[in-house]
Amino acid sequence: MSKYALKQGVAIVTASNPPVNGLSRAVRQGLVQGLKQAQQDGAKSVVILGEGATFPAGADIKEFASGAWNDDPDLNQVFAQLDASDIPVVAAIHGNALGGGLETALSCNYRVALSSAKVGLPEVHLGILPGAGGTQRLPRVVGVEQALEMIGTGKPIGASVAHKLGIVDEIIEGKTADELLAGAIKFAESVSDKKPVPRISERTVEPVDDDVYVSARVKFAKIARGQEAPQKIVDAVRAAVESARFDAGLKEEARLFQELMDGSQSKAMQYMFFAERSCNKVPGIDSKKALEVKHVGVIGGGTMGRGIAMCFANKGIRVTLSETSEEALQGAKDAIEGLYKKSSAFRSGRMSEADVAARMELIEGTTDPEYKALAECDAVIEAVFENLDLKKKIFGQLGKICKESALLASNTSYLDIDEIAQASGRPEMFLGMHFFSPANVMPALENVRGSASSEVAIATAMNMGKRIGKTTMLAGNCFGFIGNRMFEPYTQAAIGLVEEGALPSQVDRVLGPQPGMFGMAMGPLAVLDLAGNDIGQRIRAESYYPHTAENVKGARGATGRLGQKTGAGWYKYEGRSASDDEAVNKLCDEHRENFGIPKRSNISDQEILERVLYPMINEGFRILEENIASRPSDIDVLYNAGYGFPRYRGGPMFYADLVGLDTVRDGLLRIHDANPELPHWHFQPAQLLEDLVASRTTLAEHWIQRLKSAK
Identify the DSSP state of 292.
P
- Mapped onto helix, strand or coil, the DSSP state of residue 449 is strand
What residues in the chain have per-residue pLDDT under 70? 534-559, 711
Strand order in the sheet with 157-158: 96-98, 118-120, 157-158
Strand locations in 545-631, DSSP E? 572-574, 577-579
Specify the pTM.
0.92
Neighbour-count burial for 84-119, b at 16+ CB within 10 Å, e otherwise: ebebbbbbbbbbbbbbbbbbbbbbbbbbbbbeebbb
Cβ proximity of 363 and 394 under 8 Å: no
Q: Which burial class, exposed, middle or buried, applies to 360 when counting CB atoms under 10 A from its CB (0-12, 13-18, 19+)?
A: middle
Q: What is the pLDDT of residue 550?
A: 58
Helices (H) and strands (E) in the chain, counts: 32, 19
196 Cα distance to chain centroid: 46
Strand locations in 614-707, DSSP E? none
What amino acid occupies position 312? F
Q: What is the pLDDT of residue 542?
A: 41
Cβ proximity of 111 and 141 under 8 Å: no
Q: What is the pLDDT of residue 316?
A: 98
Domains contained in the chain, CATH given: 2-237 (3.90.226.10), 293-477 (3.40.50.720), 484-596+605-710 (1.10.1040.50)
Separation between Cα atoms, residue 211 and residue 223, nearest integer Å: 18
Separation between Cα atoms, residue 94 and residue 89, nearest integer Å: 16
Separation between Cα atoms, residue 78 and residue 72, nearest integer Å: 9
Cβ proximity of 299 and 391 under 8 Å: no
Q: What is the pLDDT of residue 533?
A: 77
Q: Measured at the alpha carbon of residue 224, what is the angle toward residues 218 and 230, in degrees to the nearest 5? A: 70
C-alpha torsion angle, residues 73, 74, 75, 79 (rounded to 10): -40
Q: What is the pLDDT of residue 560?
A: 75
- Mapped onto helix, strand or coil, the DSSP state of residue 659 is helix
Mark out the alpha helices in 192-263 (DSSP H runs): 210-223, 229-242, 246-262
Within 13 A of 241's CA, how many CA atoms are on the CB side? 19
Strand order in the sheet with 318-322: 363-366, 318-322, 295-299, 379-382, 407-410, 430-435, 444-449, 471-475
Q: What is the pLDDT of residue 445?
A: 98
Separation between Cα atoms, residue 62 and residue 193, nearest integer Å: 40
342 Cα distance to chain centroid: 23
Residue 696 — left, alpha, or beta (φ > 0 → left; ψ -120 to 50 → alpha)? left
Q: What is the pLDDT of residue 547?
A: 47
Identify the DSSP state of 598.
P
- Nearest Cα neighbor of 135 from 199, 80, 201 is 201
The residues that bridge with 474 in the sheet, in sequence order, are 447
Separation between Cα atoms, residue 637 and residue 46, nearest integer Å: 43
Tell me the torsion sign for CA atoms 636, 639, 642, 644. Answer: negative
Separation between Cα atoms, residue 621 and residue 239, nearest integer Å: 45
State how far the alpha carbon of 579 is from the alpha carbons of 531, 569, 587, 591, in Å. Answer: 17, 10, 16, 21
Identify the DSSP state of 116.
T
Identify the DSSP state of 629.
B
- Nearest Cα neighbor of 702 from 659, 653, 640, 634 is 653
**For a pLDDT cut of 70, what percent of the chain falls above it?**
96
- Nearest Cα neighbor of 378 from 297, 459, 455 is 297
In the chain, the largest separation of any two C-alpha atoms, in whole Å, equals 92
- Nearest Cα neighbor of 98 from 41, 58, 151, 46 is 58
43 Cα distance to chain centroid: 46
C-alpha torsion angle, residues 478, 617, 638, 659 (rounded to 10): -160
**Residues annotated as part of the active site:** 103, 123
Give every CB contact of residue 647 below 8 A, 6+ residues apart in sequence.
268, 269, 272, 640
- Mapped onto helix, strand or coil, the DSSP state of residue 434 is strand
Cβ proximity of 379 and 296 under 8 Å: yes
Give every CB contact of residue 337 below 8 A, 6+ residues apart in sequence.
356, 360
Mark out the alpha helices in 468-503 (DSSP H runs): 483-500
Residue 595 — left, alpha, or beta (φ > 0 → left; ψ -120 to 50 → alpha)? alpha
- Nearest Cα neighbor of 449 from 386, 492, 407, 487 is 407
- Mapped onto helix, strand or coil, the DSSP state of residue 212 is helix
Cβ proximity of 476 and 452 under 8 Å: no
- By DSSP bridging, strand 118-120 and strand 157-158 are antiparallel
Separation between Cα atoms, residue 640 and residue 642, nearest integer Å: 6
The model's pLDDT over 322-334, given as tens digits with 9 standing for 90+, comes to: 999 999 999 999 9
Query: E strand or H helix at 119, and its extent?
Result: strand 118-120
- Nearest Cα neighbor of 229 from 130, 106, 134 is 130
- Nearest Cα neighbor of 447 from 410, 422, 479 is 410
DSSP states along 56-92 = --S--THHHHHTGGGSSS-HHHHHHHHHH-SS-EEEE
